[in-house]
Amino acid sequence: MRSSGLARYLVALSGHFTKPAHATHPCVAPFDRTEVEVESAERYERDAPVWVYAGGAWRHGRVVEAADTSVLVCYYAPGSHDIAVEAVTPPCVMHRKPSG
């Protein structure tokens, strides 16, 4: 995805990027998950709601793009209203139900 396309995508996404008030984050550390629990990066679809492990905690995020070995995700940066975009490995991302 080109940077101008990514910028337009993030602006559009920010309109429906809200943190559910009743959501509970996962209780497992990313690298304590077994191979069975960790899905391959290709399994994540664009705009899918996910949990992202960043800054030492699980955060609400959305998939921007998925590749063979990593998932490009966006999430609210801790302590700000800025949206962070980061490529993470499969242990640091997991599917999240839209309501939580």
Question: What residue ranges define each of the domains in the chain, with the CATH number in brackets?
Answer: 3-21+30-95 (2.30.30)
- pTM for the model stands at 0.76
Task: Look at residue 95 and tell me whether its pLDDT is greater than 90.
Answer: yes
> Can you say whether the dihedral through the CA atoms of 72, 69, 4, 49 is positive or negative?
negative
Q: Read off the pLDDT band of 79 (50, 70, 90).
A: confident
Phi and psi at residue 44, in whole multiples of 5°?
Answer: -90, 125
- Beta-carbon contacts of 73 under 8 Å, excluding residues fewer than 6 positions away, are 50, 52, 61, 62, 63, 64, 85, 86, 87, 88, 93
Task: Look at residue 77 and tell me whether its pLDDT is greater than 80.
Answer: yes
